[in-house]
Amino acid sequence: IELAREVARKSIVLLKNKNNALPLKPDIGQIYVTGHNAADVNVLIGNYFGVSSQMVTILEGIAGHAWPTTVVQYSQGLLVGQKEVAISGMNYNASNADATVAVIGLSPLEEGEQGDAIASSYDGDRERIELPAPQMEFIKDLRKRCGDRPLVVVVCGGSAMAFPEIHELADAVLWVGYPGEQGGNALGDVLFGNAVPSGKLPVSFVKRVEDLPPFDDYALAGRTYRYMDVEPLFPFGFGLSYTKFEFSELELSRSSITKGASLKVLVSVTNTGDYRAEEVVQLYLSDVEGSVPLPKYALKSFQRVKLWPGETKQLEFEVTPKMLEMINEAGEAQIEPGQFKVYISSSTPSQRSMDLGATPFVEAAFSVR
């Protein structure tokens, strides 16, 4: 049980935290929980699952973590797969609550296989990558009723989603995927500050379905973070924390290596914030002079490190010959001589990542001869 809870905690991704809306403060008087996924066990386990006797819904997790002096109110607000929504009167509790937590997104009833997606019009497929329109209207109304009080949006689902408007409206946004049997307790840990989020997105979230290239062939142009030529809503590898980190003192063991040789990479990571927390430090490589179309950058290694406030640790990575290989037009793996770049980052090493609050990345160059 504790392992399931730990895994869920480490997978929760903090996408936005305006004015440090999270974690919720101990003196909060009333929390309003709403949304069709808040009390649904289906969003814990996804489409392929075993049956557990220890299921903890998100609503149960929030109620179980709330302080004794805090009142937790709940209303479902929406139904799974609802096509239209009558907003009037539904969200009145948000007008009086000190903070509102809206749990939305998708569920296995809307996406999935083997006939489970009974709320889907396309047998588990999705025609659009955007969230259903009723959910958008639901969040808009909540925002109006919350006023200047925090609106926290928790997004469930097993695939990438586009919700730029919700990102703008909410004070904090968390993506939890399908978090497993202890998902409710894990989210409660994060919301109330018993744990600091450290999850990273395993895919890129685009802003709109039109940003995805058509599947006319199997070419990778424009696909995945490695070849994407549009600015994503949230980049691959992205995820914020309650604290701040800094990368410094990036050193390469050599500035030039021969084919078949390895390279050591050293970097210092400092927790410059106020919370003890973990960061997933990511190493990306870029072949600057490839003779065939190659990724802009590709994740090759990562390490998870835990730091106290003010603490610095030095991490060591190894760039192996395998990491430098590319596939030529004959379908053969080879290492081409030329210039390479190595990036140490907390997300895809891009301006978009930093605009969203990711730790500024550091980079260095080396050559292969």
Angle between helices 183-191 and 2-11 (to 10 degrees): 60
Note whether residue 237 is domain-resident.
no
Does residue 49 sit in helix, strand or coil?
coil
Note whether residue 69 is domain-resident.
yes
Given this model, what pLDDT does residue 112 score? 67
Question: Where residue 48 sits, what CATH number does that domain have?
Answer: 3.40.50.1700
For residue range 11-49, what is the model confidence (pLDDT) as tens digits? 999 999 999 999 999 999 999 999 999 999 988 987 666
Given this model, what pLDDT does residue 82 score? 56
> Of 135-149, 187-201, 325-339, where does mean pLDDT reach its minimum?
325-339
Q: What number of other Cβ atoms are within 10 A of residue 7's Cβ?
A: 14
Across all residues in the chain, what is the average pLDDT?
A: 90
* End-of-domain residue from the set 182, 197, 212: 197
Answer yes or no: do 54 and 165 share one domain. yes
* Residue 325 confidence class, pLDDT cut points 50, 70, 90: very high
Q: Distance (Å, rounded) from C-alpha 42 to C-alpha 133?
A: 21
Note whether residue 218 is domain-resident.
no
Note whether residue 213 is domain-resident.
no
Given this model, what pLDDT does residue 116 score? 62
* End-of-domain residue from the set 130, 165, 197: 197
Q: Distance (Å, rounded) from C-alpha 103 to C-alpha 176?
A: 10
Percent of the chain with pLDDT over 70: 91
User: DSSP labels for 162-206?
Assistant: B-HHHHHH-SEEEEEES--TTHHHHHHHHHTTSS------SSPBP
**Of 342, 323, 368, residue with least CA distance to 250:** 342
Give the residue with greater pLDDT, 223 vs 166: 166
Side-chain-side CA neighbours of 239 within 13 Å: the count stands at: 24
> Of 66-80, 115-129, 316-330, 355-369, where does mean pLDDT reach its minimum?
115-129
Torsion angle of the four alpha carbons 111, 114, 118, 123, in this order, in degrees rounded to the nearest 10: 60
How many domains are contained in the chain?
2
* pLDDT score of 209 more than 80: yes
Note whether residue 183 is domain-resident.
yes
For 12, the domain range is: 2-197
The region, left, alpha or beta by phi > 0 then psi within -120 to 50, assigned to residue 52 is beta
Answer yes or no: do 137 and 270 share one domain. no
* End-of-domain residue from the set 197, 229, 262: 197
Maximum CA extent, the chain: 69
* pLDDT score of 54 more than 90: no
For residue range 72-99, what is the model confidence (pLDDT) as tens digits? 999 988 875 555 555 556 688 999 999 9
Answer yes or no: do 85 and 149 share one domain. yes
* pLDDT score of 137 more than 80: yes
Answer yes or no: do 117 and 262 share one domain. no
Q: Distance (Å, rounded) from C-alpha 23 to C-alpha 32?
A: 15
For residue range 102-133, what is the model confidence (pLDDT) as tens digits? 999 988 766 766 556 555 555 555 667 888 88
Answer yes or no: do 256 and 189 share one domain. no
The b-or-e profile of 187-200 (16+ CB within 10 A means b, else e) is bbbbbbeebbbbbb
